Chain A
Amino acid sequence: MKQTTNLRINGTSYVHEVEPRLLLIHYLREVAGLTGPHIGCETSICGACTVAIDGKVVKSCAMFAVQADGSDILTIEGVAASGTLGAMQEAFWNEHGLQCGFCTPGMIMASRQLLERNPTPTEAEIRHGIDGNLCRCTGYQHIVNAVQAAAKAGA
């Protein structure tokens, strides 16, 4: 039986009737039309689908949309909502923290969470903070550099 789901995504309200088994990532991409969060593995390993729910990052392929009913969701689209890049995005750009860019939306969401909780992380803490996110282009060193640069810039 379909259920009404009320979500606030990047500040906009979305109300839809959905099947309980609809995964949040499929809701975001196919119902809400937000294709920033990617599907890499669909098995809760790669982190490409990472979004923040009420300020906490989650893998949206490991959650049903109905679980998020009533929550505030931030996707990568909301990070640069004004059209200007957020500080973390700026740092990834400057430090070449992406190659193909597939993992980047998830990497940026996880990195932002890390700096919110620990504004001055060590390199080991940065690697621990993003270990739920895989980069197939294996650009980890540049990603770590980008998070360090964002930390220095006080992001």
Chain B
Amino acid sequence: MIPQNFEYSSPRSLEAALDQLAGGPDGSADGSTKILAGGMSLIPLMKLRLAAPERLVDLRRVPGLNYIREESGVLHIGAMTTHYEVESSALVRAKCPLLAEAAANIGDVQVRNVGTIGGSVAHADPAADYPASLLALEASVTLVSKAGERTMSVEDFLVDTMTTALEPGEIVREVTVPLEKSGAGTAYAKMVQPASGFAIVGVAARIGEGFARIGVTGLASKAYRARNVEALLEGGADAATAAAVIAEGVDANSDLHASADYRRHVATVYAARAIRQAISRKY
């Protein structure tokens, strides 16, 4: 379990990190240099030699990437904020409980102590917990490169299994969540794969007056919004009726933990649970 050798750098500013990611002030990014955040996804892959970057640029000592704050109705979470910091933040728990619930559901305490929200979205594991909630919350990511910044919805950012809209040379700088319209209730229901802690299927629901948002993880090649379920709920359908369509037309994942048919079935059950709980929490 020894990774291939690599060069390690630990820049002390975002500028330096972007320079090093781009291969130096005049270089261009070529994919042989990777960002290291918490390492909870990247290091296991490197140990298995499924990833063998030539250089790692560690963001851990870059100041100004670890924060949780509210600014004019928007929650800003720095990319290097750990799952534990999100889970235990009084601000997140009060204003955006769905995100705290998702964070508390990730892996185990050792993973939550170091794994980061930026790393989780950048990694785009199709069974990761955050994406379901971030989709239901209509969150965005802000990306920064030497050319400047751009912001896009998490929905556009997640392209496919472990594939995002991140361009070479870009770093996820923060995740932003527009805070709840009053009256919304939220819940996350997850069937856990007991060995890894990952979701076999996870459904995040956010339901308020006249709107419903449903994020799904684990079921397909990427986390996505179940717009068919949302439309039924918005049209007045009950939880079971709406949840029943969640896997319609979905090319479901199949692995040794759960067949595609089983995953589809579990998705309807967990969707109904998340929807009922979200409705019961409407305030």
Contacts and interface: CB of A to CB of B under 8 A. Distances in A.
Interface residues of A, number: 31
Interface in A6-53: 19-21, 23, 42-45, 47, 50
A66 interface: yes
Given A21-B6, A63-B114, A64-B39, A42 B1 contact: yes
A155 interface: no
B237 to A, nearest CB: 34
A113 B108 CA distance: 12
Contact of A132 (B43, B56, B110): B110
A9 B113 CA distance: 19
Contacts of A44: 40, 43-44, 111
Nearest to A70: B61
B36 to A, nearest CB: 7
B4 A21 contact: yes
B113 A67 contact: no
A58 B110 contact: yes
B197 interface: yes
Contact of A19 (B5, B44, B47, B113): B5
B40 A45 contact: no
B256 interface: no
B254 to A, nearest CB: 23
A121 interface: no
Interface of A: 1, 3, 19-21, 23, 42-45, 47, 50, 56-59, 61-64, 66-67, 69, 110, 113-114, 117, 129, 131-133
Q: Which 8 A-B pairs have the closest CB atoms?
A: A132-B108, A20-B8, A56-B113, A42-B1, A132-B110, A59-B110, A21-B3, A131-B108
